[in-house]
Amino acid sequence: MIMLWLRRNYAITLCRVDGATLDDVREAVNTLEETERTARRVLGGAHPDAAVFEKSLQNARLALRARETWGDA
Instruction: State the amino acid at position 25 in one-letter form.
Output: V
26-57 burial: b if 16+ Cβ within 10 Å, else e: ebbbebbeebbeebbeeeeeeeebbeebeebb
Intervals of the chain under pLDDT 70 = 71-73
- What pLDDT is attached to residue 14? 94
- What pLDDT is attached to residue 72? 53
pTM flag (> 0.85): yes
- What pLDDT is attached to residue 53? 97
Domain of 8?
2-70
Q: How many domains does the chain have?
A: 1
